Chain A
Amino acid sequence: MIREIVVISGKGGTGKTSIAAAFASLMENGVLCDADVDAANLHLLLKPKVLESHPFMGGGIAEIRNEDCVACGVCLEVCKFDAISEDYHVDPIGCEGCGVCVDMCPQEAIDFPTQQCGEWFHSETRFGPMIHAGLGIAEENSGKLVSLVRQQGRDLAEAEGRNLLLTDGPPGVGCPVIAAVGGASALVIVVEPTVSGLHDMQRVAQLGQHFGVPGLVAVNKFDLNVEMTEKIEAWAVEQSLGLVGRIPFDSSFVKAMVAAENIIEFAPESDAAKAVREIWKKVMASKALNNMGIADLR
């Protein structure tokens, strides 16, 4: 059975990607997925060599053929998104892609071409294969692209006999996060010990509970506010979330990023790297990932 660990945080910038990249060093026989398709960063540390790239097609966008338009006003009236101007041009950013104007136009003067709204890639990294993607600027359908990335990751794992997916998730609790969380084996929730870190982690943990996915909490930069770290851990325990460890604040994370390495490669003997290794062990031994409690289960 293929298991999947999704690294999320709620709040952005807590260290999700730096920690996911470090996990990549420790993972055995897995596939990496970057599900933050909106602002993907994992490739900056893992420098993947792209083997295949594929277009990602979204829905249609309305386009009025002005030579056939008789300015009857029907499209203006039916568009709920105010995406059509008084002189009958569709604002592609405002258009929701519902196609109602297309169907209601008495002149059949509105086209509905399918848009390419991104790309996805099958790549090779020094830690194993990786599926990643880029969504076009100002595009919709990020949730669909996230689902596609995870499915491709799963298919690849199956085809190559790999048993683990390690997915770097997006921030927030909305559309792409919902698409990243459903069906995962466990969430590693990376939290920073701040009022906003706690607030945002509570919301994303609720989302995990909503979808029935177990959550494991790791506090990053814990020493910035130990009292807050304790508060976060107490809340996590109360909610039956697992605690997998604390990582100290270490500017080596930034230096490693500049060097395009992860913390395990850049500063293997640092306290931060040791903490990440301990966390990975606890994640792999957690009930969420193997209900028999055998850490080395293959």
Chain B
Amino acid sequence: MIISIASGKGGTGKTTVAANLALSLQDSGLVKDFNMLDCDVEEPNLHLFLDPGEVTETEITTFVPVIDQEKCTGCRKCVDICRFSALTFVRDTVLVFPALCHSCGGCQLVCEFGAIGDDSRKIGVVESGMVNGHAIHSGRIRIGEAMSPPLIKAVRRHEKEAALTLIDAPPGTSCPVIAAMRGADFVLLVTEPTPFGLHDLQLAVEAVKVLDIPAGLVINRADLGDSTVQEYAESEGLEILMQIPFDRSFAEAYSRGESIVNVSPEWREKFQGLYTRIAEIVEAKA
């Protein structure tokens, strides 16, 4: 089973929920084995709360073309097929702009002279480590790199390695979020009961509908703000699976890299209950 934890708005508590869920599931007997994937590759944070210790880094690259000027006849076919302006023709020479390349391979396909070879661009790394016997894989995009989906896909290659995978998704609703939610069995949405939280939750719910994945809601800092998120969830038939009150001790623990279950062990059972309910919903759907 794959649970993707997403939110629309940033800073609502995605990573908090992912970390607490992981800490509550270990040694619980509820799942045989699980792993954790940090797909918020622009700003991966999960490792800060779970401390994987020593990590191994795997460099992730993507194809970009390189032109063999000896073989190039200047026919421009490669320049014409590229929809991303990654190739241009300047003074009888094809120039490559690697940062704009989407690695579609169209230029190689149309070149009749074998003048386009393989080069690569580094997108980022996947850092892999262990937390109490459970694997964690975090994507980390190279600063200055714009395209995160190929790196998110690389992180997600690890999801078949355990019976349960928890994915920490990036904020927003565009392509990186979709890359982190597609193919999941359940999307756990985390929001805060504020106008910003509500607005972005509505966008996230639309994205989940496009992908046709069952979803449920965690409301964080549930007593700050107003009741519009609760009302919206009811009108949408979105089940509220957990409400976490604002507690300054939780916020301070978070600031130090600690989790709720560290400062308030009774929350361990609540997070276990959250997992059990998700498993029921997923099973009912299957």
> Which residues of A line the B interface, CB within 8 A?
10-14, 17, 38-39, 41, 44, 59-60, 78, 80-81, 93, 96-100, 103-104, 135, 137-140, 142-143, 170-178, 192-197, 199-200, 203, 206-207, 210, 224-225, 228, 251, 254, 257-258, 260
Contact = CB atoms under 8 A, between A and B. Distances in A.
A175 B146 contact: yes
A81 B106 CA distance: 12
Contact of A196 (B8, B15, B173, B176): B15
A92 to B, nearest CB: 9
Scoring A10, A12, A257 by chain B CB atoms within 10 A of each residue's CB, the highest score goes to: A12
Contact of B172 (A38, A44, A93, A225): A38
Chain B interface extent, by class: 35 or more
B32 interface: no
A12 B143 contact: no
The B contact surface, by secondary structure, is: loop
A224 B252 contact: yes
Contact of B255 (A140, A200, A228): A228
A59 B83 contact: yes
Contacts of A251: 224
A41 B8 CA distance: 11
B246 to A, nearest CB: 8
A254 B225 contact: yes
A207 B141 CA distance: 11
Q: Which of A17, A192, A200 has the most CB of B within 10 A?
A: A200
Residue of A99, A100, A142, A177 with most chain B CB atoms under a 10 A cut-off: A100
22 contacts: A12-B10, A41-B9, A41-B195, A78-B105, A98-B104, A103-B81, A137-B210, A138-B173, A138-B211, A140-B174, A171-B11, A172-B42, A174-B141, A174-B145, A193-B255, A197-B255, A199-B43, A224-B252, A225-B255, A228-B255, A257-B196, A260-B195
Given A137-B210, A138-B207, A174-B141, A96 B104 contact: yes
B270 interface: no
B9 A13 contact: yes
Contacts of A199: 43, 45, 48
B254 interface: yes
A99 B207 contact: no
Pairs A-B, 8 closest by C-beta atoms: A12-B10, A13-B11, A98-B104, A172-B42, A225-B255, A38-B172, A100-B106, A175-B146
Given A138-B174, A178-B146, A98 B84 contact: yes
A288 to B, nearest CB: 20
A27 to B, nearest CB: 21
A135 B178 CA distance: 14
B43 A137 contact: no
Contacts of A206: 143
Contacts of A254: 194, 224-225
Interface string B124-149: 00000000000000000101111110
B182 interface: yes
B194 A257 contact: yes
Contacts of B192: 13
A192 B251 CA distance: 11
A131 to B, nearest CB: 19
Interface in B27-63: 41-43, 45, 48-49
Nearest to A118: B174
Contacts of A176: 174
B98 to A, nearest CB: 15
B11 A103 contact: no
Contacts of A13: 9-12, 192
Nearest to B12: A13
Interface string B164-189: 00000011111110100010000000
Given A12-B9, A99-B106, A100-B106, 5 more contacts: A38-B172, A98-B102, A142-B172, A195-B257, A224-B255
Contacts of B170: 172
Given A98-B84, A173-B43, A258-B226, A137 B173 contact: yes
A260 B199 CA distance: 13
A143 B42 CA distance: 14
A21 to B, nearest CB: 11
A173 B172 contact: no
Contacts of B178: 93, 138
Interface string B238-263: 00000000001001101111000000
Contacts of B226: 258
Q: Which of B83, B147, B174 has the most chain A CB atoms closer than 10 A to its own CB?
A: B174
A174 B194 contact: no
A139 B176 CA distance: 10
Contacts of A59: 83
A44 B196 contact: yes
B43 A103 contact: no
B10 A11 contact: yes
Contacts of A225: 252, 255-256
B102 A41 contact: no
A60 B83 contact: yes
Given A99-B81, A224-B252, A225-B255, A12 B105 contact: no
Interface string B97-112: 0000011111001100
A194 B203 CA distance: 27
